[in-house]
Structure 1
Amino acid sequence: MAAGTAIGAALFSMPDLSAAKESGSHLSKQDLTPVSFGQLPKDAEVCAKASKLVSRNYSYILEQARQLKDGWLRDTVTTMIQHPTPMFMQQYTSASAISMLYSKLSAAGLIDTGKIDVQHLLPPFTGKVQPFMTAPGSGYGSHHPYPGGLATHVSANVHITESIVNTYEEVFCYSVNSDIALAGQLLHDIMKPFVFQWQPDGSSLKEYTIAGQGAHHVLSIAESMYRSLPAEEIVAQACAHGAPSDAKGEADVVSWIKAAAIVAQKDPIAYGVLNKMGDGLPAPHRQEGYIVHLGDHDWVLSSPAAQKTSPLLKKIAVQQYGMSDSDSNGAAFNYFKNYAEAQLSCMYLNMLQSQPNGEQLVAQAVGNVILK
């Protein structure tokens, strides 16, 4: 049976587990798409597209983008999510152009040349990238590293950001610019489909560092600048990884914007994303950036959840499915892990694992998705 046929063979529901319910957790029912162990898809994009969890959250993201009030911003953000092609790469079609970029970032002290060489400054680019919906939320070992993890990560962040905006309205009786806060959150990881490219062995491409952060952060800001999003959105988006709460915090955000401006080939002062001296953010600081930063804290739980889930899945693969030790450390396990996590999420599996009979509950949940 072909992988696609096996995947579409049946739909199950998320197991209704009494132990989890007794812990006070609310488990919403969702369709699962089981596949036989022998027919696990090797293509990570197939895994993501087979997940109702992923498709539901991706639909929510698009819905939120389409609800932005400003027409141009709404259309631009929606287009970027639907087509996350790095348009700034139009400037880097030759090795000499990339080498010049490397030199500029190095001269500005924004890359560590001992840790990243010119060949790894930008991910490989053939003119198109994977869909937003199929990208992982991060690399292996961090938050939502499975196919479609970007959709669940951004969806969670947008839910949180929207709730913060609403909370401030209800508690403090004022409104921030919700368009800027939500657009900043929607786009904060827009270059992860470019950076975390799926590899044939089921792993994702290694991410390198620019301006002290994973390259996706600076490249996402650069893409937004290249597409001429409003200065307020750029600053808010840049604050996803840190807020200007003190001098160091502001200096960090400034460095990310400077690096992004070099990549996008934009003047950050003329753009309005830095002050007239170029050494700080426009003052006074708007609250939307702080809100985007608060909203991007899903990783506080989701990173350890993923780190704890992986070894348990490996144990289940070996003990319950007869996977060899060598296969459990290579591509075969990656395919197993990708499918199970895309269907169930590391968050859900970690919640089950925390129960008194957690390993049994996780094995049961995986068994409903990957059939022996």
Structure 2
Amino acid sequence: MSEISRRNFFKLGASAALGAALFNLETLPNTALAKGNATKTLKFTPISIKNLPNAETAAKKSELINTSLNYIKTCISKITDNNLRTKTASFIEDTRPTFMQMYPSSNDVTNIYNKLADENLLNTSIISPEQLFPSYNGQKPQDFISGPGSGYSSHHPYPGGLCTHTAANLSISEGIVNTYKQVFGYEVDNNIVLSAQSLHDLAKPWVFQWNTDGTSFTEYTIAGTGAHHILSLVEAIHRNMPAEEIVAQACAHNHPGSPKDEEQVVSWIKAASIIAQVNPIKYGLLDTSGTKIPYPQHQEGYIVHLGDHDWVLSGFAATKVVEALKEIAQKDYNFSSNDLNGKLFNDFRNYIGAQVSYMYLHNLLAQNGFGELRSLINQIIVK
């Protein structure tokens, strides 16, 4: 794909340009390069409102998402432990929940559900045995590249949001590692940080599969947190990842810095261990009492937790951007109420998010105003 100016794009004619032209926003005289965002060229592929692709295609054809995935792979390549590097990379390539081979029947699922309930790790009033695991047919639920960053009303909920979210987390985590090195003069185990952060959401391609209407699966909770967190740990245990990596990965959703907080992390490790059918003490995930993580606590888990805080802003940004996109869809594309609550709008918002991210769009809205956001959307989605 070539980079062309807005003026030359329209000279080509819509039929020749749609689906083929790759916009470079730095070349556009009046477009939306949000203030403070001009450090990187933003590229997107315009498309007709009539040709919006499904979620997985939207992600795979996005330069933003492919660049983010390549960044994740580059970070993994920095892991100096050959075995850890190879294992970490394998999760990105193979998103199957291989531990499900232990649960071939509904009776097997019900039995493990009851074990979790007996340990007060499930709220049986809101999750049933049938809802414990997302649907799975033995094949990849989807490629890592197309998974959303979270649920459809949460952070980076567009196709490929998992890649942008994970890439951002890795960049943040590396920044923390380097800060501690520069300011305090010591190095943590960066191999563990890179591996745990890369894999902290490894179950999301399974948990958040795409529905035909463009939304993603609804997530349930296990041990008081999103099921994806527990199921990611289960798969890491099942594939025999090192205990240090799994403990650091478990800390993504909370740090173990106080008794109450550590209790949460321990409960997640216990839930994952029950499903993975391993003894967490023998594996090295908990201390001999089974009530604490191994002592002394290492800093890598805290860094993974700090690095996983992109959601604080990105969840808010997604909410505001989707609100604005609904207004634009109604005013500029004549979406009806049914359209705004159905597949057409879902495909519309999915494609836009995958092309430029909701984070970029929110900053554009905040810095430059609704008019600039509207102008950019009109360039991405052509009537």
Residues 47-83 of structure 1: CA deviation (Å, up to 9, x unaligned): 1011100000001101111221101100000011111
Taking the aligned partners of 1:316 and 1:168, their CA distance within structure 2 comes to: 44
Given the alignment, which residue of 243, 259, 262 partners 1:250? 262
Aligned 1:311-322 pairs, distance under 5 A:
311-322=323-334
- 1:362 and 2:373 correspond: yes
- The answer (yes or no) to whether the contact 1:183–1:233 under 8 Å persists in 2 is yes
TM-score in terms of structure 2 length: 0.93
Give the direction of change, closer, same or farther, for the CA distance of 1:25–1:9 in structure 2 (3 Å limit).
closer
Distance in 1 between residues matched to 2:251 and 2:29, nearest whole Å: 39
Q: Distance in 1 between matches of 2:17 and 2:149?
A: 26
CA contact (8 A) 2:35 2:364 kept: no
**Contact 1:30 1:52 (C-alpha < 8 Å) held by counterparts:** no
Aligned to 2:233: 221
Q: 1:296 aligns with which of 308, 329, 349?
A: 308
Residue 192, structure 1, aligned to residue 204, structure 2: yes
How has the CA–CA distance of structure 1 residues 179 and 77 changed in structure 2, closer, same or farther, with 3 Å as cutoff?
A: same
Counterparts in 2 of 1:321-360, with a 5 A limit? Answer: 321-355=333-367, 357-360=368-371
Q: How far apart, in 1, do the equivalents of 2:175 and 2:360 lie?
A: 21
Instruction: Determine the structure 1 residue equivalent to 2:274.
Output: 262
For residues 319 and 239 of structure 2, what CA distance do their matches in structure 1 show? 35
Structure-1 residue corresponding to 2:382: 371
8 Å CA contact retained: 2:32, 2:373:
no
Q: For 1:18 and 1:34, how far apart are their aligned partners in 2?
A: 17
| Letter of the 2:143 counterpart | P
Aligned pairs, how many?
Answer: 366
Write out per-residue CA displacement over residues 148-189 of structure 1, whole angstroms, 9 at most, x where no aligned residue. Answer: 000000000000011111111111000000001111100000
Q: How far off its partner does 1:269 sit?
A: 0.3
Question: How far did residue 362 of structure 1 move?
Answer: 1.0
2:88 pairs, out of 69, 74, 77, with 77
In structure 2, relative to structure 1, the CA distance for the partners of 1:321 and 1:21 (3 Å cut) is: closer
Alignment match, 1:155: 167
CA spacing shift, 1:232–1:81, aligned 2, 3 Å = same
Per-residue deviation, 1:30: 3.0
CA offsets 1:342-368 (integer angstroms, 9 cap, x no match):
10100001001112x511111111112
* Aligned 8 A contact 1:6 1:39 in 2: no
Q: What's the secondary structure of 1:12's corresponding residue?
A: strand
C-alpha change, 1:12 and 1:172, in structure 2 (3 Å) is: same
C-alpha distance in structure 1 between counterparts of 2:237 and 2:310, whole Å: 25
RMSD: 1.6
Q: Partner residue of 2:6?
A: none
Identity rate, percent? 49
Aligned pairs for 1:41-52 (under 5 A) are 41=53, 43-52=54-63
Find the partner of 2:193 among 157, 173, 181: 181
Aligned positions of 1:11-26 closer than 5 A = 11-14=22-25, 23-26=35-38
Post-superposition offset of 1:252 = 0.2
Change (3 A) 1:94 1:306: same
Return the letter of the residue paired with 1:46. Answer: T
Distance in structure 1 (CA, Å) of the matches to 2:379 and 2:195 = 37
Instruction: After TM superposition, give the deviation of residue 27 of structure 1 in Å.
Output: 4.5
Q: How far did 1:22 drift?
A: 7.9
- 1:87 aligned residue: 98
Amino acid at match of 1:141: S
Q: What SS does structure 1 have at the residue aligned with 2:337?
A: coil
SS of equivalent to 1:88: helix
SS at match of 1:326: helix
**Contact 1:6–1:36 (CA<8 Å) still a contact in 2?**
no
Whole-Å separation in 2 of the counterparts to 1:108 and 1:14 = 54
User: What is the one-letter code of the residue matched to 1:343?
Assistant: Q
| Structure 1 residues 196-241: Cα deviation after superposition (integer angstroms, max 9, x where no partner) | 0000000000000000001000000111011111111010000000
- Indicate if the aligned counterparts of 1:21 and 1:27 stay in contact, CA closer than 8 A: no
Q: Which amino acid aligns with 2:45?
A: T
Which residue does 2:219 correspond to in 1? Answer: 207
Higher mean alpha-carbon deviation, 8-17 vs 235-244, is at 8-17
Given residue 289 of structure 2, which amino acid in structure 1 is its aligned partner? M
Give distance in 1, aligned partners of 2:17 and 2:151. Answer: 28
Gaps of 5+ in 1: none
Contact residue 42 and residue 356 of structure 2 kept, 8 A: no
In structure 2, runs of 5+ residues without a counterpart are 1-15
Change (3 A) 1:167 1:50: same
Structure 2 Cα separation of the partners of residues 85 and 290 of structure 1: 28
